[in-house]
Amino acid sequence: MTSLFNIMLILHIISGFTALTCGLFSMLNKKGARNHRLTGKLFFYGMTGVFVTATYLSIVRNIPFLFMVGFFSYYLTCSGYRALYLKKLHLQQQPALLDWTISSIGMAAGLALVAFSYSWFTQRGMWGTVPLSFGIFCCMSGWKDIRRFYQRPADKQHWFFTHGGRMGGAFAATVTAFIVVNVKIGSLTWLLWILPGVLIGIWINVILKRYRKLFTGKKAVPPATPAVNS
């Protein structure tokens, strides 16, 4: 058991480092370019490794918070990845059973984190803010998915913003994990679980707003008027 635990721990570290580095490159690369797609796939594989190993480690060491956060971060990864296969939702494309399952698991993970926050508020004070904020965000994201499946989006670029927002959220979870493992600030350490997500969230919003303006600008450009011979 000890040797298996050590192997899974090493794989967890390798997967986390892969997700962290490839996620950063993917964020910096031009969206849709070859390098972005390559690093994005490697990020997905890294997050898959993180999820599998985190699930094992959390069960063996009885760490319920790690177990729930694993589902939270992997839900964001999977829903962001699946957005690439749901580009025609606005044209009445039917989501697959897998998409419904991912969204349902996301909402379940969010509700579990919200419920878990009560015990941390009573036992650890402000630390309860961490699972509460994660849980609310996860529930809202899962609900948005399900609402999109019922009420189809009007914007044909909906998939782009869902993909960017969810993958960005998963990247924020990776950065947060790296920071909390390596940085300690005493009684305020709980803030390290919140601030990276907030700051990266602002960065993601800036990027997506820039692309939204770009897409809107393209729509506003009138078609060229053909020349008329006199």
Question: Each residue of 54-75: pLDDT tens digit?
Answer: 999 999 999 999 999 999 999 9
- Which ranges of 29-96 does DSSP label H, i.e. alpha helix? 34-60, 64-82
Residue 77 and residue 170 in contact, taking contact as beta carbons nearer than 8 Å: yes
Kindly state whether residue 39 falls inside one of the protein's structural domains. yes
Kindly state whether residue 228 falls inside one of the protein's structural domains. no
The number of domains in the chain is 1
Kindly state whether residue 229 falls inside one of the protein's structural domains. no
- Residue 205 CB coordination number (10 Å): 13
Is residue 89 pLDDT above 80, yes or no? yes
DSSP, collapsed to helix, strand or coil, labels residue 175 as helix
What sign does the dihedral 154-155-157-161 (CA atoms) show? negative
Kindly state whether residue 106 falls inside one of the protein's structural domains. yes
Residue 200 and residue 171 in contact, taking contact as beta carbons nearer than 8 Å: yes
- Residue 76 CB coordination number (10 Å): 26
Kindly state whether residue 225 falls inside one of the protein's structural domains. no
Higher confidence at residue 219 or residue 41? 41
Kindly state whether residue 230 falls inside one of the protein's structural domains. no
Q: What is the pLDDT of residue 152?
A: 87
Which pTM does this prediction carry? 0.89
Instruction: Kindly report, residue by residue over 185-207, the tens digit of the pLDDT.
Output: 888 888 999 999 999 999 999 99
Say how far apart CA 44 and CA 37 lie, in whole Å. Answer: 10
Q: What is the pLDDT of residue 218?
A: 65
User: 103 is in which domain, residue-wise?
Assistant: 2-217
Say how far apart CA 53 and CA 159 lie, in whole Å. Answer: 29
Kindly state whether residue 95 falls inside one of the protein's structural domains. yes
Integer CA distances (angstroms), 126 to 64, 131, 184, 185, 188, in order: 18, 10, 16, 14, 9
Kindly state whether residue 151 falls inside one of the protein's structural domains. yes
Is residue 103 pLDDT above 90, yes or no? yes
Integer CA distances (angstroms), 16 to 49, 92, 199, 200, 216, in order: 8, 37, 20, 17, 36
